[in-house]
Amino acid sequence: MNIYRERPNFIPWPPLLLVASTLMAILLGRVAPLPFEFGGAFVLGIVLIILALGIDLWAMRTLHEAQTTILPHRGSDYLVDHGPFGFSRNPIYLANMVLLVGMGCFSKNAWFLLLAPVDGVMTHFLAIRREENHLLAKFGYQFEAYCRKVRRWI
């Protein structure tokens, strides 16, 4: 039996990585602040935070309506390819990175900006690859066709 068929992971990496990145940025901002000034950073931060939260809520609602899991370490019951998943295979993880950038602009803490791509790379290797293996094992050709239509990030 394919180990990915039942569930992609045993640990919910993406939310843990988001929290770790946020805490690390706050800590590093206090211990070793980086200069970060540009006009409109505060407003841009608010816009990005609202955008990220909107994408997250839209994606979670879409998953809920499809009656499949929102939790990244649980197995999917349905391949969702509409809503935000019609634009990105990982809209929640993309929104997490936008949220980090928004928090960096809002707080004028450049560590958020530096840790956003680190969060994305870690999410890719710890979650996305395993989730894609899970979806391929569970949905086969249907998932392959979806991957040909929709990019992983944007």
Query: How many other CB atoms are there within 10 angstroms of residue 18's CB atom?
Result: 19
- Mention every residue, 6+ apart, whose C-beta is less than 8 A from residue 108: 36, 37, 41, 42
**pTM given for the model:** 0.94
Rounded to whole angstroms, the Cα distance separating 47 from 62 reads 22
Q: What is the pLDDT of residue 4?
A: 63
Mapping DSSP to helix (H, G, I), strand (E, B) and coil, where does residue 113 land? Answer: helix
Rounded to whole angstroms, the Cα distance separating 79 from 81 reads 6
Q: What is the pLDDT of residue 3?
A: 66
Q: What is the pLDDT of residue 67?
A: 95
| 72 DSSP assignment | T
One-character DSSP codes across 1-29:
--TTTT-S-SS-HHHHHHHHHHHHHHHHH
Question: Which positions of the chain have pLDDT values less than 50?
Answer: none
Rounded to whole angstroms, the Cα distance separating 27 from 131 reads 31
The string over 56-75, giving b where at least 16 C-beta atoms fall within 10 Å of a residue's C-beta and e elsewhere, is: bebbeebbeebebeeebbeb
Q: What is the pLDDT of residue 1?
A: 52
At 23-48, the pLDDT tens digits run: 999 999 999 998 788 889 999 999 99
